Amino acid sequence: MRRKRPEMWKNGDWLLHHDNALAYTSLVVREFLTKNNMTTVPHPTYSLDLAPCDFYVLPKMKLWLKGRRFISIEEIQAEW
């Protein structure tokens, strides 16, 4: 963060969002983040129903398909 976005680093206007990988949840990493007063945003537990790309794609897909009626999945796939 300090090297890539120095302007954000200086004024502390950023949040750390990382996944639940063991490397990120280890005691050493948590102690480092706490010692340096770094704000973290917890990552939701893994779920097959929630993938990060879904949050970007699904709203756009819903807008595109809104108000249309389809008989089969193949019809939806062809339209999308």
**66 pLDDT higher than 80:** yes
* pLDDT for residue 46: 62
* pLDDT for residue 23: 74
- Nearest-CA neighbor of 79 among 56, 61, 57? 61
66 forms beta bridges with: none
pLDDT tens sequence across 12-58: 777 777 776 777 778 888 888 888 887 777 666 666 665 666 667 77
Q: Give the pLDDT mean for 3-7.
A: 84
Check: pTM over 0.85? Answer yes or no.
no
